[in-house]
Amino acid sequence: MRFTQILRLTASAAVLSGLAAGAAQAQDEPTRVDEIIVTAQKREQSLQDVPIVVTTLSEELLEDAGVRDIKDLQILTPGLTVTSTTSETITTARIRGVGTVGDNPGLESSVGVVIDGIYRPRNGVGFGDLGELQRIEVLKGPQGTLFGRNTSAGVINIITEAPSFNPGMEAELTYGDYGSWGAAGSVTGGLSETVAGRLYVAARQRDGFYDVRTGDGPRTNTEDQTQDFWTIRGQLLFLPSDTVSIRAIADYSTREEFCCVATQIRSGPTAGLVNLLATGGQGVRPAVTGGSFGPAPGYQFLPYSRTAFSNRDTGQDIEDMGLSVQADIDLEAFGGSTLTSITGVRSWESTNGMDIDFSGADLLYRDQNGDFGFGLDTLSQELRLAGGNDRLDWLVGAYYSSEDLARQDSYFYGADYANYVSLLLTTTAPGGPYAGRVGCLTAGAPFNTAPAIGGCVVGLVPATGVTFAPGQGVRDRYSQDTETFALFTHNTFALSDRLDFTFGLRWTHEEKTLDALQTNINGNGGVCAAAAGNAAGIAGAFGPAAAQQAIGLLCLPWSNAAFNNRATHQENEEDAISGTVNLSFDLTDDVMIYGAYSRGYKGAGYNLDRVQTGVTPDASTFFPAETVDSWELGLKSTLMDGSMLFNVTAFHQTFSDFQLNTFLGTAFVVESIPEVTSVGLDIDSIWFTPIEGLSFQGGVTYTNTEYSNFTAADLSNPARFGPLSLLPGNTMSFAPEWSATGAVTFERSIGAGLMAGFNLAAKYTSEYNTKSDLLPAGIQEAMTLFNGRITLGAEDERWALELWGQNLTDEEYYQVVFNAPLQGTAFASIPYNPATDTQTYNAFLGAPRTWGVTLRVRY
C-alpha cells in the first residue's frame, strides 16, 4: 500500500520533484491516484498512505476553478466556509462548521493557514493573491501535533511553485466585467550550476460590487468592495552539494481598496429616525411593514439589493512582507536522516476607515488616519529531524515563535449622533423603552421638555451643559506580545507488513502579555458622567428599569467616562499537550482502514476591545484556551486499476471552552462556551476517467455541529447569557448540515496543433445561520454556486485563451448578517420573541456573477 514510505524533503528528493538541475520543472499533473503526493505529515507521501482526512487540490484544478485566494478555495472543498466582514483583513475560515468568529485580532485562528511551511497567525493575514501554486492541501480535524497551536479545526497547507533550473516564462492578461483587469508574469531558470531563481509579479484592479448612497458625506466615493493590489515574490534555490538544498523566499504585497459596506436586509422602526437625520432622507433602506415578522404591523425583510448607505469612507490599506529560508540537509552519517530548518520573518499592517453605523446619517465613524487598524510582526523557527527504515518512520522537532500585535482603535461622533441619541430618549422613537415620556438628560437639571430635533440635544439644554459633540471620541492602543516554544515528535511503526501504528505528541509553552491604554478625547465621557451623577432624577422620571436603559445608552463603551485614561496590564503563561494516536491496516494493496484519536489546542487570549458589564469596565478581558478531542474512523481506497480514489471518514469532535466572539450591536464580547460537538462524515473522490483528458474531483461533508445545553451559570459572566440564549442545544452558526463539491475537467487535442477544454466546478451548501447569536434573521437558505471556464490553446501549452465565469447563476447570498449598531433591539425579552424584535439587520453580501477573458502564454 505504501507508495512512498519516507520520501523526505531532501536534496535528492528535490531532484525528483523538480527542485534540482536537469529535472526542475513544474510537476506534471497526476493521472493516477498513486501519483498524488502530499506533505500533510511534514514528509512527502502518497495521499492514500496518509491516515487522516486530506482534500488535495492540484495546480491545474486550482487554475481552472479560478482560485487566487483562500476564499476562492471553498468551492472545491466540502466542509470549508470562508467569509469576510468589515474588511478583507477580517477573513475567517471554518472547517466542519468550526472556526473563529468575529472581528477581533485578539482571537487567533481555529483553522491554520500555512504557506510554504510558514504559519500565518490570522486567516486575514493569509488572505491575498497566492501566486503560482503547486497544490493546496486542506487537512480536516485537529492538527496540533505537527502544525501546533491554533489548528484545532484544521489546516490549509499551501505549497507554491519552486524555482526550476530549466528556463521558463509565464504571463497572463485578464479583462472582465466590473472594470476588472489583471496582469501577472513569472520567470524561472538557472543562475548558475548550483543556483536557480523564480520571480513572480502580479497586479489586479476591479470596480466595486456595491452602489453606495453617501447621505451626509463627506464621503464622495459611490462604490465599495473594490480591488486594487500588486504583489511581488522572489525565490532562490541553492544546491551547494548533493546533500543540501536551501530555498529562500521574499515577498511583498500592498492593497489600497474600499471595503466593506453592508446593506440592510430588514429595517426596523429606527429607520425613520436615521432617514430623518440624513441628507435627502438617504440614511438606510426604508422599512417595509405589513407582515407578521416583528412588532405589529410588522417589519419585513427587504428584497436583495447591492445598494448600501455610508457617509464615511471605508478605505483599507494593507501592507504585507516577509522572508523565509528552508534548508534540507541529508545526514548520511546519522542513518540517512534529514535535518530541516525553516525560518520565517513577517510584517503585516492594515489601516482602515469605517462607517460604524452603516448608514448615510453622520453618527459614528473611524477615520483612516492610522487610529484604526492593526499590525503583526512575527518571527518563527522550526527544526525537524526525520528518518526511517522498513519498520519505523520517525520525526522529532522544535518550534519557536514570537508575535508582536499592535492594535489601534477609535470612535468619533458625527454631527448627527447627539440628535439621534436624543430621539431615542423621546417619544419619537417608536416602540422604544421611553414611549409616552418626553425628556432629555441635562447637566444641572433633571429634564427638559423640548423633543424637537435641535431642541432636545442630550445635555445641551441649558447651553452650559454637556453633549456628544462632533469630533469627540476614543483613541485606544493595545500591545500584545506572544512567545511560543514547542517540542514535538511524530512516529509510525510498522507492526507488520499491513498494520501501522502512529504516535505523535507535542508540548507547547506559551507566554502572552497585553498592555492597553484606553483614552477618551476632546471631552468625551461628560454625558455619561452627568447621567451617572443624576441617576436618581432619571429613575424618578422614567422609572428604575427605563432609567437603567437610558444610562446604558448614554454610557456605551465608546462614551463611558470610566474608560478615560485607563491603563491595564494582563499576562498569562500556560503549557499544553496535544497529540495523536492512529492505527491503520491495509485490507488489500488498494484499501486501507484506520482509526485515530487526536487532541488539538487553541491558545488563550484577550479581547482587544472595551468590555463592560452594565456600565462598569471589566477588570479582565482574558479567555481560556480552547481544546478539542477528535475521534475518526476512515477508509481509503484506490479503485479501477489506480484511476479512482474514494475515501470516507466518520468523525466525532468535542470542543471544550470554545472561544465565541459575538457582536451585540454595540460591542464584541468573548465567552467560553463549555462544549461544542461536531459529528459527521467526510467523503472525497477523484476519478481519472478512461476518456482521454476527462477527470472528476468532488466530495461530500455531513456535519451536525451543536452547542451543549449550557446555562448562564456556566459562563464566565452570567450577564452575557441573554444575547446567547438561543445557543444552548442548537446548531452552531456557519455549520451547514450538508455541503458537496464537484469539479469536472476535460481537455483534448482538436487537431491543427490546438487543444480545447472546459472546467465546471460547483458547490452545494444546505441552510445555515450566519449570525453567531443564531437570531433567525441570519439564516442563509440552501444554495449552489457554479464556476466555469472554457479554454482554447496550443497543444504545447505555449498559449491559451480562456473565457471564465464565477457564480455563473448569479446566486444571491449572505456572507454574514449582523445587528446594525444602535438601531433597535433584538433581545427585548428573554427568551427571544420575534414580536418584540425591533432590530435593523445588515448583511455583508457574497460576490455577484463575474466573467472575463484571460490570455496565458508560456515558454
Any bridge partners for residue 662, and if so which? 669
Tens digits of residue pLDDT in 460-490: 333 335 788 899 999 999 999 999 999 999 9
Least confident of 20-34, 49-63, 280-294, 700-714: 20-34
Alpha-carbon separation of residue 219 from 315, 414, 419 (angstroms): 11, 13, 21
The model carries a pTM of 0.91
Tens digits of residue pLDDT in 178-190: 999 999 999 999 9
The C-alpha atoms of residue 737 and residue 759 are separated, in whole angstroms, by 27
pLDDT confidence bin for 519, thresholds 50/70/90:
very high
pLDDT of residue 541: 66
Hey, which bits of 167-222 come out as E strands?
A: 168-176, 181-190, 195-206, 210-213
The whole-number average pLDDT for the span 501-526 is 96
Least confident of 86-90, 637-641, 787-791, 852-856: 86-90
pLDDT of residue 149: 81
> Roughly how many angstroms between the first and final C-alpha of the chain, as a whole number?
38
Residue recorded with cell 427568551: 831
Q: What does the mean pLDDT of the chain come to?
A: 88
Residue type, 771: K
pLDDT of 303 strictly over 50? yes
Judged on CB neighbours under 10 Å (0-12, 13-18, 19+), 310 is buried
pLDDT of residue 31: 82
- Phi first, then psi, for residue 32 (nearest 5°) are -135, 155
pLDDT of 360 strictly over 90? yes
The larger pLDDT score, comparing residue 342 to residue 431, is at: 342
Tens digits of residue pLDDT in 789-837: 999 999 999 999 999 999 999 999 999 999 999 999 999 888 999 988 9
The larger pLDDT score, comparing residue 454 to residue 679, is at: 679
Any bridge partners for residue 315, and if so which? 258
pLDDT of residue 1: 37
595: CB partners within 8 A, 6+ apart: 582, 583, 631, 632, 633, 634
Coil/strand/helix, residue 609: coil
pLDDT of residue 291: 53
Residue type, 424: L
pLDDT of 641 strictly over 90? yes
Tens digits of residue pLDDT in 38-55: 998 988 899 999 999 999
pLDDT of residue 121: 83
Coil/strand/helix, residue 836: helix
pLDDT of 26 strictly over 80? no
Least confident of 392-406, 463-477, 653-667, 738-752: 463-477
Residue type, 109: S
pLDDT confidence bin for 101, thresholds 50/70/90:
low
Tens digits of residue pLDDT in 130-143: 889 999 999 999 99
State the cell numbers at 85.
Answer: 466582514
pLDDT confidence bin for 92, thresholds 50/70/90:
confident
Counting residues of the chain whose pLDDT is more than 70, the rounded percentage is 90
Tally Cβ neighbours within 10 Å of residue 495: 11
Hey, which bits of 272-358 come out as E strands?
A: 307-309, 315-331, 337-352, 354-355
Tens digits of residue pLDDT in 700-755: 999 999 999 999 999 999 989 999 999 999 999 999 999 999 999 999 999 999 99
Any bridge partners for residue 376, and if so which? 348, 405
pLDDT confidence bin for 4, thresholds 50/70/90:
very low
pLDDT of 21 strictly over 60? no
If we measure between CA atoms, which residue out of 93, 122, 85, 94 comes closest to residue 107?
A: 122
The C-alpha atoms of residue 189 and residue 169 are separated, in whole angstroms, by 9
Q: What is the DSSP letter of 76?
A: G
Residue recorded with cell 477588570: 619
The whole-number average pLDDT for the span 535-564 is 84
The C-alpha atoms of residue 152 and residue 603 are separated, in whole angstroms, by 10
Residues 393, 6: contact at Cβ < 8 Å?
yes
